[in-house]
Structure formats: structure tokens, C-alpha cells
């Protein structure tokens, strides 16, 4: 059906782009998750009122288009602060905070989902706050949060398509470069879409499976 000029070198080029997508996603999700857990626990511990500044800060990342966040962060770092960060650094910084903002929300929901009666039971056995967190709250919260967290990781991977604006050549940008040269947009875009689908779908299914499994007990 497709008569294509796509060469094996081009496929490698695309694979490199895909690699960049995965690298950006992995770094951002890793840092973002750690930050998200910290922010989430802080928010629960501080309570609504004292955590308000943190809530506001994180809310910004969920209320402004990622494209604008990237452009702004890039302009701010470079033009205003005159810091010479690579595009990859800026992309990872923005995406990490973006991830953290959503992750904090997920963590908070997970912790809230642990019944206070269960936590009271732990404390009344003489466990400290830390032991309660470590042995009761985190294992239980993880069950609630993991499916959403997988959803978040997938979301970040898809949203990483936007980091082209800070000169990071990820999968979609690599595709566009090839489109410019080969002028076969539909074919190349389909390959690109299939690739995204192939990474997302099994993970999404896994998340669904966990949700189903854990909702039973």
C-alpha cells in the first residue's frame, strides 16, 4: 500500500527519537514521582490551610498549557537568568514539576483512601507515625494510587511530544524531520502513532489489571 523512500538509516533515526522520548519520560517521571510523594505527604500533614501556598504552586503546572510552560521556562532560564541549560535539561525540569504536580494529587488521594480507623489501629498498637506510614499507609495507598500513577506516567510520555519547542528531538519531532525530507506525512505519522500506541497500550492494560485485581480485596 505504501511505496516509501524510508531507509533503514531513517528507521534508526526514528528509533533514536523514540529513545529520547523514553529518556525524557523516564527522568521526568522518576524525579516527578519523588517530588510528588514528598509534596503529597506534606500536603496531607500540613492540612488544607497551611499547605495552601504549595497547593497554589503545584496548581499552576496543571492550569497552564505545557507548551507555554516549556516556552516560558526556556525563556526565563536563558534570557532572564542567562543560565546555559541544554534543551533536555529544561524539558526534564518542566516535565518533572508537571509530573510532581499531578503525582502529589494522586499521593494525597491514596493516603486519604486509607481509613483513619486502620491508621488508628496501627497507632494503638504502639506504632510510631513513621512505622504507621511505612507499614500500613504506604502499602495501602500504593494500591489505590498505582493505577492512576501508571496513567500519569503514560500521560507524561504522550505530553513529552511537546518538548520539541526547546529543541529536543523526540519521537514526534524526528517524524517531522523525516516528513520534511521524505514528504510522506501520513505514512510516517502512522508509524509514529503505532509506536506511541505500542508503548502505552500494554502499560495502560497493566494499570487496568492492577486496578481490577486490587479493587477486589
Closest to another protein by CB, 34 vs 214, is 214
Query: Which residues have CB under 8 Å from 36's CB, separation 6+?
Result: 99, 100, 101, 102, 103, 104, 106, 107
> Which positions from 157 through 176 interact with another protein, judged by CB under 8 A?
158-159, 161-162, 164-165, 167, 169, 172, 176
What is the rounded CA–CA span in Å between residue 172 and residue 157? Answer: 11
Q: Name the DSSP class of 165.
A: G
Question: Which residue in 60, 112, 206, 213 binds another protein (CB under 8 A)?
Answer: 60
> Which positions from 175 through 214 interact with another protein, judged by CB under 8 A?
176-186, 189, 192-193, 196-197, 200-201, 204
Going from the C-alpha of 42 to that of each of 30, 46, 129, the distances in angstroms are 19, 6, 14
Binding mask 113-132 for another protein (x = CB under 8 A): --x-xx-xxxxxxxxx--x-
Q: How far is the CB of 76 from another protein (least distance, A)?
A: 6
What is the rounded CA–CA span in Å between residue 86 and residue 173? Answer: 17
Q: How far is the CB of 46 from another protein (least distance, A)?
A: 19
* 21 in Cβ contact with 88 (< 8 Å): no
Is 89 among the residues that bind another protein (CB under 8 A)?
Answer: no
> Quick one: which H or E segment has residue 141?
helix 138-159
Q: How far is the CB of 165 from another protein (least distance, A)?
A: 7
Candidates 35-43, 46-54, 92-100, 155-163; binding stretch for another protein (CB under 8 A): 155-163
How many residues touch another protein under the rule CB under 8 A: the total is 77
Amino acid at each position: 500500500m505504501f511505496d516509501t523512500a524510508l531507509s533503514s538509516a531513517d528507521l534508526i533515526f526514528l528509533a533514536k527519537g523514540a529513545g529520547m522520548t523514553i529518556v525524557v519520560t523516564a527522568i521526568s517521571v522518576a524525579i516527578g514521582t519523588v517530588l510528588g510523594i514528598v509534596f503529597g505527604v506534606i500536603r496531607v500533614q500540613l492540612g488544607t490551610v497551611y499547605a495552601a501556598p504549595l497547593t497554589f504552586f503545584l496548581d499552576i503546572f496543571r492550569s497552564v498549557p505545557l507548551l507555554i510552560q516549556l516556552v516560558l521556562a526556556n525563556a526565563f532560564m536563558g534570557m532572564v537568568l542567562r543560565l546555559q541549560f541544554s534543551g533536555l535539561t529544561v524539558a526534564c525540569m518542566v516535565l518533572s514539576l508537571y509530573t510532581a504536580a499531578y503525582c502529589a494529587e494522586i499521593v494525597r488521594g491514596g493516603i486519604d483512601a486509607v481509613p483513619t480507623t486502620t491508621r488508628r489501629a496501627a497507632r494503638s498498637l504502639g506504632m510510631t507515625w513513621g512505622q504507621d506510614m511505612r507499614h500500613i499507609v504506604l502499602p495501602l495507598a500504593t494500591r489505590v494510587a498505582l493505577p492512576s500513577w501508571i496513567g500519569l506516567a503514560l500521560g507524561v510520555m504522550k505530553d513529552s511530544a511537546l518538548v520539541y519547542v526547546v529543541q529536543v528531538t523526540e519521537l514526534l519531532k524526528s517524524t517531522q524531520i523525516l516528513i520534511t525530507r521524505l514528504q510522506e506525512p501520513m505514512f510516517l505519522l502512522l508509524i509514529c502513532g503505532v509506536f506511541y500506541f505500542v508503548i502505552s497500550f500494554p502499560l495502560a492494560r497493566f494499570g487496568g489489571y492492577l486496578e481490577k485485581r486490587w479493587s477486589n480485596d
